[in-house]
Amino acid sequence: MKVYLIWSGELSRAIAQAFKDWVPNVISNVELFFSKSDISAGTNWFQEISKQLESTNFGVIFLTKDSINAPWIFFETGALAKHISQASICTTLIDIQTTDIVGPLTQFQAITLNKEGMLALAKSINNSIDIQRLPDRMLSDLFEMKWQSFEEKINAIKISIKTVTTSQASLPKQTEKEVVDEILRLTRSMNQAMNQVLSYKKEELPKSDEHVKAQFLKAISTLKIKNRKMPCNLSLINDEILREDENFDVNKTSFGSFVKLAIYFEGKGVITLEKQNDHYYVKSINL
């Protein structure tokens, strides 16, 4: 029995790691796969996830206010949804509410990171085990014994990460003169940067290859979760991206066109393209 853990961002990662360490204390007959990669990992990650998903039975997605719209979450969830049923995927809400979830992730069971929610998640995982499943009473007793240590761990993580992210607030306040000087310095820097941007020719505009790659992955993952019928026109993916980012423009990257961006991902094995009458279509999404 394998459980696949999906995360994005520091808080999500830390909670997922704590969950991975804690679950075997409650359910021993389970293996948890914790991806330590992120969206920039590329080919190595794709090979690894394909191998792990072949034997995955259950998936848990750890969501925070910072990760709820992360391309990595959509990408990995799309791959997971191809291999297991919707009922075997749960979202765990760390610092958000169910009402904060929008889009494809709403179709999965949402569980809050508290005692009641974690017991429900433990029962769902246990019920997915075919062999040596724990009796409900034994599971509840083990959970009750081990819950406090996990609760203390996640509370410590939340405090630790909150302390790090708010540490700047405890720095000495600037004097009025220092504030004015800082504003003047930033204003000059902004003017210089603006003048530089305005002087660019179109082909000299700053590249943002990683951004468009992430947006493309998020779009095809969304289509995968929605079970979009294939083949589909490339323009459908472009429209999906523009709904999220109206300033999306692949022409300002080294790819130069949306077709070349799609061909790049076909080369990575993420999608399969077919050409009909000089038009490219997505034949399949291989997540």
For residue 182, being part of any structural domain is answered with no
The total number of structural domains in the chain stands at 2
Residue type, 56: T
Domain boundary among 163, 193, 220: 163
Specify the pLDDT at position 204. 42
Determine if the pTM surpasses 0.95: no
Q: How many CB atoms lie within 10 A of CB 5?
A: 23
The highest-confidence range among 34-43, 207-216, 261-270, by mean pLDDT, is: 261-270
For residue 70, being part of any structural domain is answered with yes
> Above pLDDT 70, what percent of the chain?
77
**Do 40 and 153 share a structural domain?**
yes
Tell me: pLDDT of 197 over 80: no
Stated length of the chain: 287
Higher pLDDT, 150 or 84: 150
For residue 188, being part of any structural domain is answered with no
Give the separation between CA 229 and CA 283, rounded to whole angstroms: 9
**Do 220 and 139 share a structural domain?**
no
CATH of the domain at 43: 3.40.50.10140
Structural domain for 271, as ranges = 209-285
Specify the pLDDT at position 109. 92
For residue 199, being part of any structural domain is answered with no
C-alpha dihedral sign at 62, 63, 66, 68: positive
For residue 55, being part of any structural domain is answered with yes
Specify the pLDDT at position 39. 36
CATH of the domain at 271: 1.10.10
For residue 196, being part of any structural domain is answered with no
**Hey, which residues does 32 pair with through a beta bridge?**
3
If you average pLDDT over residues 193-203, what whole number do you get? 44
Give the tokens for residue 19.
């969950």
Specify the pLDDT at position 91. 95
The least confident of 77-86, 143-152, 203-212, 247-256 is: 203-212
For residue 50, being part of any structural domain is answered with yes
**Do 253 and 137 share a structural domain?**
no
Average pLDDT score over the chain: 79
Nearby residues of 173 by Cβ (< 8 Å), 6 or more positions away: none
Tell me: pLDDT of 202 over 70: no
For 41-65, what is each residue's pLDDT tens digit? 444 556 667 778 778 999 999 999 9
- Complete edge-to-edge strand list for the sheet that includes strand 58-63: 31-34, 2-6, 58-63, 89-93, 109-112
The least confident of 141-145, 157-161, 216-220 is: 216-220
**Do 128 and 252 share a structural domain?**
no
